[in-house]
């Protein structure tokens, strides 16, 4: 059986070699431009004209501006109707949580509340630094809590405010915290209430 298969294969190859494979038309050599060389030539031309330096400077300025004043968190607005609600931070583990020695502390699939183990060391205050009223209100709350308050911006220049206040100011990058906590209005104060987080979306003081 194997020998018959080999013979068939050899016959097929011989037949293919005997087939007239002459070109149907004129054949021309393929000339493809060297892509890397084209890119290099274009970069050199931009370097000579100063365009490359201008592009690099513009990119650096955009990065600096984004660092100084990140894009506002989408879906968060100034409080229209104050509200209070609670958030349960419990989560279900999709993998086991291991200790320093590799021992299983919490099994995969188990549900746990971080507030059963640790406490929120200080309240969180979310606000929009573009609104002078919210900045003033945040400063008053910070003083009321004797500095034990974490100010987190949803919009505005946090570096400038940090220099002005001479204390740490944070920014909710990409809205990770506000989205997780369900915050849609600011200023919003987050504090611990037993095994839950209490969230107060506050009326802006005039």
pLDDT digits (tens, 9 = 90+) for 38-77: 777 877 887 788 765 666 665 555 555 555 678 999 999 9
With a threshold of 0.85, does the pTM exceed it? no
Q: Contact at 8 Å (CB) between 177 and 150?
A: no
Average pLDDT over residues 181-189: 97
19-23, 41-45, 60-64, 87-91: least confidently modelled range: 19-23
pLDDT at position 66 is 58
DSSP letter assigned to residue 163: H
The better pLDDT of the pair 91, 27 is held by 91
Q: Is the pLDDT of residue 103 over 80?
A: yes
Q: Which pLDDT belongs to residue 68?
A: 63
* 25, pLDDT greater than 90: no
Could you tell me what percent of the chain has a pLDDT over 90? 50
Given this model, what pLDDT does residue 168 score?
A: 92
Range of lowest pLDDT (32-36, 161-165, 172-176): 32-36
Give residue limits of the domains in the chain. Answer: 77-89+115-201
Asked if residue 154 lies in contact with residue 79, where contact means CB atoms within 8 angstroms, the answer is: no
Angle of CA points 150, 151, 154, to nearest 5°: 135
Check residue 30 and give its pLDDT.
57
Residue found by looking up tokens 């365009």 in the block: 51
Domain 77-89+115-201: CATH architecture, name and number where available: 3-Layer(aba) Sandwich (3.40)
The predicted pLDDT at position 155 comes to: 96
Backbone φ and ψ of 27, nearest 5°:
-110, 130
pLDDT of residue 65: 53
pLDDT band at 13 (very low <50, low <70, confident <90, very high): very low
pLDDT at 3 (0 to 100): 44
E strands in 74-149: 77-78, 83-87, 91-92, 97-98, 104-106, 111-112, 124-128
pLDDT of amino acid 163: 92
- Quote the pLDDT of residue 174: 92
* Residue 187 near residue 178 (C-beta atoms within 8 A): no
In this structure, what token pair is assigned to residue 115?
Answer: 């507030």
pLDDT of residue 16: 43
In contact, 199 and 85? CB cutoff 8 Å: yes
| ∠ CA 186-192-195, rounded to 5° | 130
Structure-token pair, residue 142 = 């910070």
**First-residue to last-residue Cα distance in the chain:** 95
Mean pLDDT of all residues belonging to the chain: 82
């Amino acid at each position: 059986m194997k020998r018959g298969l080999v013979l068939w294969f050899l016959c097929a190859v011989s037949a293919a070699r005997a087939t007239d494979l002459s070109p149907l038309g004129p054949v021309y050599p393929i000339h493809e431009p060297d892509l890397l060389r084209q890119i290099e030539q274009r970069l050199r031309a931009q370097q000579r004209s100063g365009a490359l330096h201008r592009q690099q400077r513009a990119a650096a300025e955009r990065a600096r501006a984004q660092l100084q004043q990140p894009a506002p968190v989408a879906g968060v607005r100034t409080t229209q109707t104050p509200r209070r609600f609670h958030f349960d931070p419990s989560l279900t583990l999709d993998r086991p949580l291991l200790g320093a020695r590799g021992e299983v502390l919490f099994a995969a699939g188990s549900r746990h509340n971080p507030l059963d183990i640790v406490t929120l060391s200080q309240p969180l205050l979310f606000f929009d630094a573009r609104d002078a009223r919210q900045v003033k209100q945040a400063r008053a709350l910070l003083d009321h809590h004797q500095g034990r308050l974490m100010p987190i911006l949803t919009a505005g220049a946090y570096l400038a405010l940090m220099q002005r206040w001479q204390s740490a100011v944070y920014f909710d990058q990409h809205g990770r915290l506000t989205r997780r906590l369900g915050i849609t209005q600011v200023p919003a104060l987050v504090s611990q209430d037993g095994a839950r987080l209490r969230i107060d979306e506050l009326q802006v003081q005039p």
